[in-house]
Amino acid sequence: MAVDMKIPPVGESITEVTVGTWYKKEGDQVKMDDVLCGLDSDKATFELTAEADGILHILAQEGDVLPIGASICTIDNGDGAAAPAPTAEPAKAEAPKPAEQAAPAPAAEPAAAPVSSASSVIEMKVPAVGESVTEVTIASWSKKDGDQVALDEVLCELESDKATFELPAEAAGTLRIMAQAGETLPIGALIAKIEVGAGASAPAATPAPQPAASTPAAETAPSNGQNGYAAHYPSPAAAKILDEKGVSTQQVQGSGVGGRITKEDALKASPAPAQPAAPAAQPTAPKPATPTPAPAPAPVAAGARSQRREKMTSLRRTIARRLVAVKNETAMLTTFNEVDMKAVMDLRNKYKDKFKEKNGVGLGFMSFFTKAVCVALKDFPAVNAQIDGDQMIFNDFCDISIAVSTDRGLVVPVIRNAEQLSFAGIEKEIVRLAGLARDNKLTIDQMTGGTFTITNGGTFGSMLSTPIINAPQSAILGMHNIVERPVVVNGEIVVRPIMYLALSYDHRIIDGKESVSFLVRVKQILEDPSRLLFDM
């Protein structure tokens, strides 16, 4: 009976994929969950795994573009189930005769190994983490292949374009890693297996008779791959790095499952044979030419012009994609104003100690700006709105997004219903969300649904900037550093703490009058915070 393998759905907006590299050949014996080929979509690259044991029959070639649901290959599991049993016994009785058939013999033997342990293997797949998240990147593994793991023990850290989360073990047993750190997987893809109970020892026992059945030592290499990978076979990420370095896979010793070359192996590899070739050519040169090549390698050996490549994380790729999209898809403009921060600073200095004693949190500038923004958004609802197709959505609530810088990139958690919160409530929420962001514990819900964004570049010393809108929102307020400047007050030159404010807005929905008036309203409230008491 043949199992029809079809292109799986990988996201709401993805309708077709391109067949990448086939890791198996036509007629190969494959095992359940072996990686058959790579599939490329317009958003991600993922791997297609076998749905059964059997003989592979390829229906689509590399480079073919297939729609979701189209057949890509079949697996004939009728012959595949019966083949391993008879080939294991004749291999011992007729060792001299199958010498010419040494290659197919080990291919059939490993297929029999997982049969006995299939019922005791737990498949770990990438969980769904949000409606808009279609793929994740493996940031790091906390465990190694073959380690014994306990139930709910953290196996690895997964990174999406919005958050980072941990993957716990679904059972206790032996871990078999199916994807290496740095690889990007779609939601629902196989990431690891856990061999539970007696099944954990089955794969270890089956490879033992294989070296006895096939005397050549070279045949042991293909039989190592419990996941279908032979020694010196690189992962997709490792293959790209080795190609860039110009290093052959035969020169790299793989540390992965079955001798598979991992990304870490590729990063450590260096084209060592290429360096001795240069000095070897020098003795053949004539005597006058000997001094001339000597100064040439000197600057190269200095090492001052080294380069380093790193794959962009999902979060960084998403940030880059969204920022470019905002610049291309919105009519973004920026208007500026300056605020005299003396009134806010005096009020803060007067009450900050009592405020912290009562509420257990410090009184910062962000709560003043958040309250001022909420008042101004009620007066100018277009600034709190967004465009959806040919419609405008107006929000009667203020979900304020606060930009937080982390080691992994910029994240924007949301303060829900900020207009209803007190100063203490806002400060507590800011501290809580900022802590979750820096610990990479933010959830998708905590970073979606904001109606307006505040970003504070002044914490890093920025004097003036033009912040980019946080789509699908229509405006963002940029705060900057506070600098004492000479200003004219009541006809006299005085020194005051001044902050420049920048409001970037989408001119498609917000007119110039509304944007300028909104920023002036924020300025008025901050320069006279008592307005907040009387809602003025």
Q: Tell the residue number behind the tokens 């189930």, with chain if given.
A: 81
Annotated catalytic residue: which of 346, 379, 507, 528?
Answer: 507
Tokens of 470: 């946080």
CB atoms within 10 A of CB 524: 15
For residue 57, indicate whether it is catalytic: no
CB atoms within 10 A of CB 389: 6
**C-alpha 426 chain-centroid distance:** 30
**368: alpha, beta or left, given left = phi > 0 and alpha = psi -120 to 50?**
alpha
Distance CA 459, CA 364 (A): 12
Q: Tell the residue number behind the tokens 């810088």, with chain if given.
A: 405
Write the DSSP string, 217-248.
Answer: GGGHHHHT-TTS--TTPBPHHHHHHHHHHT--
Amino acid identity for residue 267 in this structure: L
Distance CA 28, CA 207 (A): 19
Annotated catalytic residue: which of 390, 511, 528, 535?
Answer: 511
Distance CA 536, CA 371 (A): 12
**CA proximity to 405, closest of 315, 332, 312, 519:** 315
Q: DSSP code of 267?
A: H
Phi, psi of 195 (to 5 degrees): -85, 120
**185: alpha, beta or left, given left = phi > 0 and alpha = psi -120 to 50?**
beta
Phi, psi of 15 (to 5 degrees): -110, -15
Tokens of 29: 């014996």
Side-chain-side CA neighbours of 338 within 13 Å: the count stands at 15
Tokens of 463: 């004097």
Q: Which residues contact 275 (CB under 8 A, 6 or more apart)?
A: none
Q: DSSP code of 261?
A: B
Cβ–Cβ under 8 Å, residues 372 and 522: yes
**CA proximity to 318, closest of 180, 436, 445, 470:** 470
Cβ–Cβ under 8 Å, residues 259 and 235: no
For residue 76, indicate whether it is catalytic: no
* Residues marked as catalytic: 507, 511
